[in-house]
């Protein structure tokens, strides 16, 4: 079985526990204004659709769904590469080749390199060739980075 690892994603910020209430600072003269300007109100205040949601919790929710999209896309990428894998002639070697690949959202291969050699140059070259031949799928909607790194392990046996 082949494995797929995505590069470590930046961990989504976890919301910290609510700070203890502080005593109100002495009131400054308001000059007739009773409420703080809109730019100074806390995000999520006001009971609208975003009430109670902070920027950190929204980013965390988007990060989790983004990781699922990348993982699903990665599975499709591995399947495309597996279809192009060819055992090299002239050798009876067996082994695993770990590759680092970089893929653009359009499905264009932006880079490939051997991260972990099988110990046999023919197997390593066959693994790189499989990646280069593969028609990689486009990224799912919602992924907008310039490129995404993946680590793919291909196994070869005679």
- How do the domains of the chain map onto residue ranges? 52-158
What is the number of H-type helices and E-type strands within the chain? 2, 4
Q: Just give the CATH number of 52-158.
A: 3.30.1150.10
59 CA to centre of own chain:
13
Between 54 and 78, the more confident residue is 78
Mean of pLDDT over the chain: 76
pLDDT for 75: 96
User: Hey, how many other C-beta atoms are within 10 angstroms of the C-beta on 126?
Assistant: 21
Distance CA(122)–CA(97), nearest Å, equals 11
Average pLDDT over residues 24-32: 51
- Is a pLDDT exceeding 50 seen at residue 123? yes
Contact (Cβ atoms closer than 8 angstroms) between residue 77 and residue 151: no
């Amino acid at each position: 079985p082949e494995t797929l690892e995505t590069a470590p994603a930046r961990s989504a910020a976890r919301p910290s526990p609510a700070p203890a209430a502080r005593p109100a600072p002495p009131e400054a003269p308001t000059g007739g204004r009773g409420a703080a300007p809109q730019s100074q109100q806390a995000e999520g205040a006001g009971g609208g659709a975003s009430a109670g949601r902070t920027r950190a919790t929204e980013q965390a929710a988007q990060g989790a769904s983004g990781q699922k999209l990348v993982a699903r896309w990665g599975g499709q990428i591995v399947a495309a590469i597996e279809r192009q894998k060819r055992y090299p002639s002239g050798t009876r070697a067996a082994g695993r080749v770990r590759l680092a690949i970089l893929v653009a959202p359009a499905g264009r291969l932006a880079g490939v390199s051997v991260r972990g050699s099988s110990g046999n140059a023919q197997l390593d070259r066959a693994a790189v060739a499989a990646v280069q031949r593969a028609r990689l799928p486009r990224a799912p909607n919602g992924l907008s980075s310039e490129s995404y790194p993946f680590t793919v392990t291909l196994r070869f046996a005679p």
